[in-house]
Amino acid sequence: MPYQFLEDIAIADIAFSAWGKDLEETFIAAADATMNVMVEDLDSIQPLEKREFRLQNEALDMLLFDLLQELIYYKDAEKFMLRIHQIKIKKDDGRHVLEAVALGEKLDSNRHRTRADVKAVTLHRFELVKTDRGWETTVILDI
Amino acid sequence: MAVPKALERISETAWELPVSYKEGMRVPARIYGTEKLIQEMDGAVFDQVTNVATLPGITKYSLCMPDGHFGYGFPIGGVAAMDAEEGVISPGGIGFDINCGMRLVTTNLTYDEVKPHLKTLVDKLYERVPAGVGSTGFVKISKKEFRKVVEQGARWFVQNGYGWEEDLELTEESGCIEGADSSKISEKAIDRGYNQIGTLGSGNHYLEIQVVHRENILDEDLARHFGITIPDQVVVMFHCGSRGFGHQVATDYLQVFLKVMESKYGIKILDRELASAPFDSPEGKDYFSAMKGAINMSFANRQVILHRIREVFSDVFGRSPEDLDMHMVYDVAHNTAKLERHLVNAHMKTLLVHRKGATRAFGPGMEGLPERYKPIGQPVIIGGSMETGSYLLVGTPGGNETFFSTAHGSGRTMSRTKARRLWHGKKLQKEMEERGIYVRTASWPGLAEEAGDAYKNIDDVILATELAGISKRVVRFIPIGNVKG
């Protein structure tokens, strides 16, 4: 599991760090960590429907921020729990662009054991950094 | 992190960090608490409260209440009043969960009458007041109607049959703060919010059935004024806010402010979560009217939940809510920014008072209170952990020190991640039941996160506010039933 929940920061909410050998892996890990705060067993989310995202931002870390906010948006607006299936991140004319395909299904309280409701990604200690093993991110979610 | 050496004790419960403590501070930082609470205070509070002290237009002090702990930008428990003309507005000073607040309702039932039906009552409330991840509100309205709710608040629902006229009088801002503008709110926020009216949320949000034992009435006269008149009276208290809607409004404007704060207005960003813009600017005014929309949505949410609670009690006890005397005591907001008039250096000034995780506590005689409470002061509802109980207090004249603000809860001392490791939800539920508290929850880990030991001692926090003269205890409530998301 390429992410870990952190005990000693963010008393009232949830903090995690996620990592990967490249940006794509790291973004998927962060998305999974975010969904895992809400649903205990990620495998219980069946890939029944597709949602596609095309996001862009001047700042790479804010591109990740935007992706996580999209997942939160779908959870509230459509009651959809999504997992990133495919993702490509590239630079286009000075902006960072993300294209992703997410698969998931509507929340079903009979099959999905829920934990806490994620309401926002905060900017507190929010960072996405390159490491010698790839990339790592720290995120604090407001629940 | 240790208490800073520069922290100076001003009185039994007021402690200060001078402007020399950090570069850029315009006013001293003042933290309220007993010596014990200060020693145990989350170290991040000292850093955050002094960051807030650097914001343009801040007046008198950057304050933190006794239940203070780390927040985003502002500490939770943070209060800062800005000059309305020269000062800034800061979303971090209001919080993501705009108008997270508390509502208290009485009944004329006693503990003995409720006890045999307690499980049924809690089970029915759990069924009929949706809580937890992705829950859908029991109120079905269109996005167009939702935009009306955003501008009219609880009033829209009372007019549509959800509650009593008097409920509005007994809510801060009469359940609708003037000046909300739904055109300043993103479609995304509307999408997130319109099917969430009538949901409790999760985390530290809850619906609790409580009892007032004789020995826990600390001021009999005031208690009677607030509707506590029967020995072992049963009341209902619930805590929730503007849900995903308020969060989206806050997130949207935080992004807007980050873009213009330094580049357009030359305000240095010490902490991205402390992003702000001049109150008197297009961005500031837009956020203020959007924020008011979220305040109204939250009042509306609590109004419909009250209506549902009345229905459930009526079902279970076979009497109408009127017959059960299910009157509101009050509804307070603890994540807001409001324009208020306060005395500063012997002159009345209009200030934008940010309260984040802090409750307004107007004293006797103050404008904005319902007529029936004007002579005695504002009811203040402060929730403890689900294991310990909560308080009803009253605002006092001494509150002028803190722009008539006081604490909002116990304040967490331990992260949710750690609490989930230390306690087990199902086991906790069983232990609480053995102690006479029946809990239903949508999430076992969520319940563990709310264990009493993850919070400060509510009695300590409340006593500190009384010693500081910013609010006065009236009644202590003991929990007997709880619904959690």
pLDDT digit string, tens, across residues B363-420: 999 999 999 999 999 999 999 999 999 999 999 999 999 999 999 998 888 889 899 9
Residue B1 — very low, low, confident or very high, per pLDDT cuts 50/70/90?
low
B417 touches chain A (CB under 8 A): yes
Residue A93 lies in a domain: yes
For residue B261, the model assigns a pLDDT of 93
CB atoms B133 and A7 under 8 Å: no
Which tokens is B403 given?
């722009």
Distance from CA of B366 to the nearest CA of A (A): 33
B424 touches chain A (CB under 8 A): no
> Over the stretch B160-171, which tens digit does the pLDDT of each residue have?
999 999 999 999
Contact of A115 with A38, CB cutoff 8 Å: yes
CB atoms B188 and A38 under 8 Å: no
Using an 8 Å CB-CB cutoff, list chain B residues near A10: 70, 415-416
Strand, helix or coil for residue B141:
coil
Residue A4 lies in a domain: no
CA distance B11 to B246: 37
Average pLDDT of B36-46? 94
CB atoms A115 and B445 under 8 Å: yes
Residue range of the domain that includes A130:
13-142
Strand, helix or coil for residue B308:
helix
B42 touches chain A (CB under 8 A): yes
Contact of B471 with B406, CB cutoff 8 Å: yes
Q: How many CB pairs under 8 A join A and B?
A: 119
pTM of the model: 0.96
CB atoms B134 and A14 under 8 Å: no
**Location of structure tokens 């802090």:** B358
For residue B200, the model assigns a pLDDT of 94
Using an 8 Å CB-CB cutoff, list chain A residues near B271: 124
Residue A112 lies in a domain: yes
Residue A5 lies in a domain: no
> Over the stretch B114-130, which tens digit does the pLDDT of each residue have?
999 999 999 999 999 99
Active site residue B342: no
- What integer best gives the mean pLDDT of chain A? 95
CB atoms B251 and A120 under 8 Å: yes
CB atoms B201 and A39 under 8 Å: no
Instruction: Please check the confidence at residue A119 and state whether its pLDDT lies above 70.
Output: yes
Q: Tell me which residues of chain B, numbers 282 to 321, contact chain A at a CB-CB cutoff of 8 Å.
A: none
Q: Taking an 8 Å Cβ-Cβ cutoff, which residues of chain A contact chain B?
A: 5-15, 38-40, 69, 72-73, 75-77, 79, 81, 107, 109, 113-117, 119-124, 126, 142-143
Which tokens is B121 given?
């009552």
In sequence order, what are the residues at sequence separation of 6 or more whose Cβ sits closer than 8 angstroms to the Cβ of residue B323? none
In sequence order, what are the residues at sequence separation of 6 or more whose Cβ sits closer than 8 angstroms to the Cβ of residue B475? B212, B216, B217, B218, B219, B223, B226, B228, B391, B392
For residue A9, the model assigns a pLDDT of 81
> Over the stretch B173-230, which tens digit does the pLDDT of each residue have?
999 999 999 999 999 999 999 999 999 998 889 999 999 999 999 999 999 999 999 9
Single out the catalytic residue among B205, B247, B334, B408. B408
Total structural domains within chain A: 1
Distance from CA of A87 to the nearest CA of B (A): 23
Q: Which residue would you say has higher pLDDT here, A75 or B269?
A: A75
3-state secondary structure chain A: CCEEEECCCCCCCEEEEEEECCHHHHHHHHHHHHHHHHECCHHHCCCCEEEEEEEEECCHHHHHHHHHHHHHHHHHHCCEEEEEEEEEEEEECCEEEEEEEEEEEECCCCCCCECCCCCEECCCCCEEEEECCEEEEEEEEEC
Residue A121 lies in a domain: yes
For residue B40, the model assigns a pLDDT of 93
For residue B270, the model assigns a pLDDT of 83
C-alpha angle B286-B171-B339 in degrees, rounded to nearest 5: 35
Distance from CA of A86 to the nearest CA of B (A): 24
Which of B43, B1, B54 is closest to B271 using CA atoms?
Answer: B54
List the single range of A4-13, B35-44, B236-245, B427-436 with lowest mean pLDDT: A4-13
What does DSSP assign to residue B481? E
Task: Please give the share of chain B, as a percent, with pLDDT higher than 90.
Answer: 92
In chain A, which residue's Cα lies nearest the Cα of B444? A115
CA distance B272 to B41: 23
B196 touches chain A (CB under 8 A): yes
In chain A, which residue's Cα lies nearest the Cα of B133? A117
Q: Tell me which residues of chain B, numbers 172 to 191, contact chain A at a CB-CB cutoff of 8 Å.
A: 188, 191
Residue A20 lies in a domain: yes
Q: How many CB atoms lie within 10 A of CB B374?
A: 15
> Over the stretch B282-325, which tens digit does the pLDDT of each residue have?
999 999 999 999 999 999 999 999 999 999 999 999 999 999 99
Contact of B53 with B34, CB cutoff 8 Å: no
| DSSP-derived secondary structure for B73-84 | SSPEEEEEEEET
Instruction: Please check the confidence at residue B430 and state whether its pLDDT lies above 80.
Output: yes
For residue A7, the model assigns a pLDDT of 85
For residue A66, the model assigns a pLDDT of 97
- Given B191, B244, B412, which is nearest A12 (Cβ)? B412
- Burial (Cβ within 10 Å: 0-12, 13-18, ≥19) of residue A38: buried
CB atoms B191 and A73 under 8 Å: yes
CATH code at A71? 3.55.10.10
Using an 8 Å CB-CB cutoff, list chain B residues near A67: none
Which of B176, B445, B206 is closest to B294 using CA atoms?
Answer: B176
Residue A65 lies in a domain: yes
B418 touches chain A (CB under 8 A): yes
Residue B86 carries which side chain, given as an amino acid letter? E
Beta bridge partners of A52: A101
